[in-house]
Structure 1
């Protein structure tokens, strides 16, 4: 896809969301048409003017992305468009944990991320870590079947199309440079922690016997350590971008160099990135032959917490995670006096149970190291040739390559390595080296017929789309490291032999390889009559490698139409500049079955490459005999998840472009859900196999609105808002659900909380009270008392609002984002409200001071000595809303008028200050309500960032 967007004189694209508004319109028909006919990028080289598009889509301009201090552009999209929910589940620098959902939950057990397309080449979300947001010209979010069905087997979860910048013909050479520097701070929580003195007083009262208690002086003078200051810090962010554009008669070039660096608010986390891009577009003298190429190279390094990779690692050692320990560490303990774990071990050996925060300090000071390097290359070439005035042939081929290296170690001089070493062996420590290569080839060929006659226009296209993917992974793990010679990732310091345990230091080596592919051919047709009526149709045949031959191919299709009501004679002289009714219906497929881990390319998800094949493994059986066993039972009947979507929408612009907006209603039904099928275990030893069963529906409404209050040459002011509501419902599942906290049940919403209802405190005894399954009071609930709550951790509502304004060079842009309707279980608060933590070294909330006592009966907090303490673990006592409104970004600055720069070698200069995530309004007690997860465990909060910068053009 080689799409170039027409650049407006005001430097803005028309879209219904946050964007700069166009120049003042003259009150004539020509001006109206010119301003309305902005380009919507749909993919596969296809574009449409806003007035003629039949799709539900939103186009976001570069203005929304520029100068933002985010490593990934996805963070900058939150609140900027309806129908797309974006939640950053980690504020760790360079993290790939960004959850993106288009129109709700598309599956129960499969990938739910949208398809990403950069300059016509499909890719996965982690590639954006190495994509410079300053290179992006526009982003189109495609939501309905009219826009997404053309992508067939990968479009069930929506499509995000990214178009990078290009030069302009006959524009000469221009040079630009931009620089931003800022700092980040950690947000506050609302857990109301006790002080060191309060902690010791509580221990005296409820934990220690008469001979173990702290003295009055020890209570009053207890240390009061703020562990956040030990684990967190002020982060720093800087980015610098150099751009060059050139335009001759038949060739245009855009080139850029970028550098981004961020130190995280948690010690030992950081990210840095170098990027290079070169985009070339050209044409022949007669314009019949056009060509282009895009090359993007990225290299990044990052350090992150080990728990960022694995929830199981977090649960195994929760207090060794600084995100936990900053809240749960006991406040009456002084910070560690040791700079090295070996000194800590020398004095305490393995007697560290009451000094776990010191272990955490050693971890983030180098006791555990987790470093990544990534190299990425995206490149493509394309051409198109007009065989006749009506017939064009085109081709695009590209590659998407990413290599990632991880070096993880439990350093031999770290405290954890020293207490974990085996027996009398002198060396501890573990180093694990991982290398992955992900290489994708995409080739697209098309033949297009386009002809206009009279008031009729017809375009018909035929396409062939081929994808080949190769994935390779290697892992090497060494136990036993010599602290005198070891250096992370260098291969030195490996201990070769243990005299006491000969196999202890033998390395473990693993490797895997996956080859995947997909092939599709499809046809499109578009018809327009007089700009008044339009119809589009598409049929696509898709084949995917991961299904058996009987189920490998499937057909997807879509039809759509529009009625430009403003073109009718009866609308002559109306207040409407544009009024368009559109509707679509179509089908998509989802071949990305199974949940991907760490944002791996879903096309090569190893967990689902053997769906229809039996997999055998060798193992030791009875009497130590080697045997061959069945580890995976394949199912040749596994097939695609399929989706049907209906959409109806209305686009409008009125009062001479004073007011503009749109509204959409959709129904999306997913059938053949990828799931587990129950089978007899008599012959296989397995109770379930992978298969398809069940049906789910999402329906909702989306809308956005912009009102241009002032639109004069020297004074502009606009306000805008967008929002969406999605209702999810499981229509069919052939099995019930187990008595667990989070379930999927027929007739209810997906991922629903299934909990016992908390009913407060018995005012006479201080015991906790609950409602049993019949609604009666009980103090001893069991699993049979769980009920479906009608609440899920996925939000139902999301959106954004803000303003854009400028006055004589001074400008201001403000964006608020919001979400509502989601519920999470606050695990940290559960721990803080557990009085047993006083005896295990955990901190507690001062809310416990309001616990029931004979003199404090009117409280909802049970007695600290209640007999049924712990019975609330399966109740909704700690289930809280994650609703929030966030000041997502605010930018203030000044653009110098060109006249003031006349005697300088520059043509443009802009100075600005900017803030990100500055204020969040929420009832959530934790550090950040944004991450979408069932349990609030280890949350690396999204930081508050303040930055200043400038952009200069030569």
Structure 2
């Protein structure tokens, strides 16, 4: 007993001695950017396991042992900070956000994701700061120029239009080239994006190579865009964000519109060419003496854009939440062009206990759309510039005419008011998941998601419309689409010893989609107040349609890394789909990839100028099943036709029981490197080989069918992605000054390697293009040889005997004055651009910020069909023309652009194939954030930023048409893109 008491006394004295040698340190940790308390920050004594965490108020208390030199403060998403202890008993710390750390974890297709630095695959992520607060409705526009290899082109100024996108060129000739779009694990239709609020997105991750896309199998040959919506956090206090923005829009480039003759020029031209006598022109000018720029009549100026967004996010206990509401409205430049959207989102997740979590993401949106229908070759907008300039759209009193005298056309505003087309869409995109962890390392997850919409179109013609007085019309069109995706995965992570790390993933997925539509129309309405189907007495008609398809998939992925230095990954997926023939409904896709952290090797560790070097390589297969909205091309089908007073049946399609996916083999080799801790370079080289393409193969009409969809032909794309940026200035602790220039480019070469029926080339009807083995898709037209200076006659080169040979203008077969389609020749001009990218910089000083982004496309060509109308006075006599037509032949010896009057000035020939390469100042944003020290006085406002943004402010191009960004091989009456100016404010509470 005495011995025990002595031992207890000894231990007590030792504890008292140890306590006397240690001391307490207290303090608070806040964010350097917003001044908010940071809960859950790790506070450790450097070199030991002694540590604690900050509480909900960001405060901590830590007993440090004698001899402790420094404390290390670390927090996810923030740069770790080491602070010397010295004689201090209170240590307060400000942690700065780490922009690179914030985007470290990326989605790789199912599973829990990986850190960006450890990913086996060519992956790029665009953060929320680059997606939100843009004066456009669609997130795709915000992605333009942000990712190497991702091409985004806006073909229309309609606010509700969806830009076209592709990754690494065109992987298919006739099927879709749009990437698979996945939001929070659920595939969605590209058209859904216009209904979503980009301010709700945390990031958009672009999966480009087989290592990252093969796990998505039959729908991933065009790459994958993975959208992650915002979530709450229990590590941060609740925050409220309010953003309001207002802007105006104008035509992005007016060069084409300003190149038409004014009244004096047009009058002189009419007389000079003998279309009218001087007396006739004088009589016309005595009645109509305006000088109208018609594009200013058919397009409005300074139309408004309004955007308001509200969100609250945070967490409590084990539950997180993010709730947002948004409103966006943009008026298009053309009459009856509008997009009006209301959005709501609620993302909630909770940890039920240590082994179970569940979450629900609810997205609901409603929008109203109006689109101007008068494009193409319509004088009511698309070709309105041909209107004679001497007519006026307004009367002597300054009011618009309903029907413009002399011109014989209705004023576009009158048309918009009397022939209305109102569309509205209800979008619903919910998803929910349940996740359990029954044993350490094993995560089982089940998820259900929907992508559903109801779209209604109401097209009416008022009975008071003077063009059809007392004969109104009403057409109602309704369509509903619902896509359901069920996904189940099991992921197991484990280690062998301390250096070998494994992850195994097994999954099953089922997707089905149903679409149904019906349409009704009546005419004969006589009262503007009674515009219903039931009030029409004439032309009653109704129709309906439906379609559906489904996928069933099994997939697996295995990952291994050794010492976090050598990474291996393999995936496999089997898809079965109702879209394909009974003999080929299933297909299996695979990928293998590796990553090597070369900088970790001993022979590179001491290379001071090389801060990081990671090498990656992968190969694998994917498929393409997107070949239009006809989901039954694999089946031999019939359709109905009227027969006497009954219904007859006719063969509609031959079908193909062997029809299956387009197949693609993708190989990618790349590296990322950092030099001097300030220069960042990522480069990758890829080869895409597409086989078994889904093509319409022509057949003799004697078979009963003109063509049939078959798997045939092959295509190849190869190229390089380069992403370069560097910290020219990076002084986070000195006035928060930074300047970061960046440059992104993709260079892609395309060629066709096989066609069908043993052909070396094929000319698809009415496209102006040609498919030739060994070449890219090229333009084919007669080749213009100029005007004969002696006779004033037009000339074209005689064609090469082999139509697939590329034209060589230096050695030709002679010329002819007679134009016909047999003169068509392979121009060797590719339809798709060979390079696209961007350059710019981000900069800041104190509270000021600047973001500049130029986007460019090189090697893009368009058939300028507009100039067939605007440079053709002998074909469109009496209509206004471009001033360039004044350069026509008059006397022997004249060297001119156009032949003598009486000859057709412009034919569909090589002159209309024009270089549409362009560069645009895509984004210019200037902002200022009020210092936190000033805002602290309010006790409420935690952040206050004002900003001004310009979009598409400058356009540089040689293209002579309306807009070079049109994603088509033909430009005709396009609704031009807009440039936008906007100002906004963002408040954090």
TM-score in terms of structure 2 length = 0.85
Cα pair 1:177 1:243 within 8 Å, conserved: yes
The range that moved more, 31-40 or 74-83, is 31-40
Select 1:922's aligned residue among 952, 957, 969. Answer: 957
Q: 1:672 to 1:838 in 2, by over 3 A?
A: closer
**CA shift for structure 1 position 642:** 0.8
Q: 1:755 to 1:748 in 2, by over 3 A?
A: farther
**CA shift for structure 1 position 405:** 0.5
**CA shift for structure 1 position 939:** 1.4
| 2:669 pairs with 1:669 | no
Counterpart-to-counterpart distance in 2, 1:119 and 1:248: 22
Q: 1:216 to 1:480 in 2, by over 3 A?
A: closer
Where relative contact order (Cα < 8 A, 6+ residues apart) is larger, the structure is 1
Q: 1:857 to 1:641 in 2, by over 3 A?
A: same
Quote the residue 1:301 is aligned against. Answer: 368
Cα pair 1:474 1:510 within 8 Å, conserved: yes
Counterpart-to-counterpart distance in 2, 1:836 and 1:921: 32
**CA shift for structure 1 position 414:** 2.5
Quote the residue 1:608 is aligned against. Answer: 631
Quote the residue 2:901 is aligned against. Answer: 864
Quote the residue 1:598 is aligned against. Answer: none
Residues 686-737 of structure 1, C-alpha deviations (whole Å, 9 max, x = no match): 2322211111111111111011111112211100010001111111112442
For structure 1, list consecutive stretches of 5 or more residues without a partner in the other structure: 1-6, 12-21, 309-313, 419-426, 497-504, 595-604
Query: Pairwise CA RMSD of aligned residues?
Result: 2.8
Residues 422-477 of structure 1, C-alpha deviations (whole Å, 9 max, x = no match): xxxxx433322111111111110011111023111010110001112111111111
Quote the residue 2:552 is aligned against. Answer: 519
The range that moved more, 107-116 or 847-856, is 847-856
Quote the residue 1:443 is aligned against. Answer: 486
Q: How many residues align?
A: 880
| 2:948 pairs with 1:913 | yes
Select 2:676's aligned residue among 632, 655, 658. Answer: 655
Q: 1:846 to 1:627 in 2, by over 3 A?
A: same
The range that moved more, 392-401 or 354-363, is 354-363
Give secondary structure in 1 for the equivalent of 2:429: strand
**CA shift for structure 1 position 184:** 0.9
| 2:713 pairs with 1:686 | no
**CA shift for structure 1 position 391:** 1.7
Residues 282-324 of structure 1, C-alpha deviations (whole Å, 9 max, x = no match): 21453x322211001100001111257xxxxx44xx112x232
Cα pair 1:459 1:525 within 8 Å, conserved: yes
Counterpart-to-counterpart distance in 1, 2:244 and 2:396: 39
Quote the residue 1:723 is aligned against. Answer: 745
Quote the residue 1:707 is aligned against. Answer: 726
Select 1:495's aligned residue among 521, 524, 536. Answer: 536
Give secondary structure in 2 for the equivalent of 1:323: coil
Q: 1:659 to 1:69 in 2, by over 3 A?
A: same
Quote the residue 1:431 is aligned against. Answer: 474
Select 2:240's aligned residue among 154, 158, 175. Answer: 175
Cα pair 1:193 1:843 within 8 Å, conserved: yes
For structure 2, list consecutive stretches of 5 or more residues without a partner in the other structure: 1-29, 35-76, 84-95, 801-811
Counterpart-to-counterpart distance in 2, 1:536 and 1:86: 30
Counterpart-to-counterpart distance in 1, 2:481 and 2:31: 39
Quote the residue 2:117 is aligned against. Answer: 51
Q: 1:385 to 1:789 in 2, by over 3 A?
A: same
Q: 1:34 to 1:855 in 2, by over 3 A?
A: closer
Cα pair 1:106 1:670 within 8 Å, conserved: yes
Counterpart-to-counterpart distance in 2, 1:665 and 1:673: 23
Quote the residue 1:270 is aligned against. Answer: 338
Quote the residue 1:323 is aligned against. Answer: 382
Counterpart-to-counterpart distance in 1, 2:292 and 2:819: 38
Quote the residue 1:65 is aligned against. Answer: 131
TM-score in terms of structure 1 length = 0.88
Give secondary structure in 1 for the equivalent of 2:369: strand
The range that moved more, 169-178 or 53-62, is 169-178
The range that moved more, 694-703 or 851-860, is 851-860
Q: 1:627 to 1:808 in 2, by over 3 A?
A: closer
Counterpart-to-counterpart distance in 1, 2:841 and 2:856: 15
Give secondary structure in 2 for the equivalent of 1:355: coil
The range that moved more, 927-936 or 741-750, is 741-750
Quote the residue 1:827 is aligned against. Answer: 865
Give secondary structure in 2 for the equivalent of 1:127: helix
**CA shift for structure 1 position 481:** 2.2
| 2:193 pairs with 1:128 | yes
Cα pair 1:362 1:415 within 8 Å, conserved: no
Q: 1:34 to 1:592 in 2, by over 3 A?
A: closer
Give secondary structure in 1 for the equivalent of 2:468: helix
Counterpart-to-counterpart distance in 1, 2:869 and 2:826: 24
Quote the residue 2:821 is aligned against. Answer: 783
Quote the residue 1:472 is aligned against. Answer: 516
Give secondary structure in 1 for the equivalent of 2:695: strand
Cα pair 1:813 1:890 within 8 Å, conserved: yes
Q: 1:92 to 1:626 in 2, by over 3 A?
A: closer
**CA shift for structure 1 position 185:** 1.2
Cα pair 2:393 2:400 within 8 Å, conserved: no
Quote the residue 2:19 is aligned against. Answer: none
Cα pair 2:679 2:725 within 8 Å, conserved: yes
**CA shift for structure 1 position 209:** 5.3
Q: 1:737 to 1:873 in 2, by over 3 A?
A: farther
Larger radius of gyration: 2
Q: 1:640 to 1:138 in 2, by over 3 A?
A: same
**CA shift for structure 1 position 484:** 4.3
Q: 1:148 to 1:215 in 2, by over 3 A?
A: same
Cα pair 1:759 1:770 within 8 Å, conserved: yes
**CA shift for structure 1 position 415:** 4.2
Q: 1:677 to 1:777 in 2, by over 3 A?
A: closer
**CA shift for structure 1 position 33:** 13
Q: Which aligned pairs between 1:422-821 and structure 2 lie closer than 5 A?
A: 427-453=470-496, 454-487=498-531, 490-491=532-533, 494-496=535-537, 505-574=538-607, 575-594=609-628, 605=629, 607-620=630-643, 627-656=648-677, 658-679=678-699, 681-682=701-702, 684-713=703-732, 714-734=736-756, 735=759, 736-738=761-763, 742-774=768-800, 775=812, 776-821=814-859
Cα pair 1:291 1:384 within 8 Å, conserved: yes
Quote the residue 1:138 is aligned against. Answer: 203
Counterpart-to-counterpart distance in 1, 2:618 and 2:605: 27
Residues 564-613 of structure 1, C-alpha deviations (whole Å, 9 max, x = no match): 1001011112222221111111011112223xxxxxxxxxx2x2324223
Residues 94-135 of structure 1, C-alpha deviations (whole Å, 9 max, x = no match): 223x11111111212212111100111100111111111111
Quote the residue 1:227 is aligned against. Answer: 294
Select 1:283's aligned residue among 345, 351, 362. Answer: 351
Q: Which aligned pairs between 1:99-118 and structure 2 lie closer than 5 A?
A: 99-118=164-183
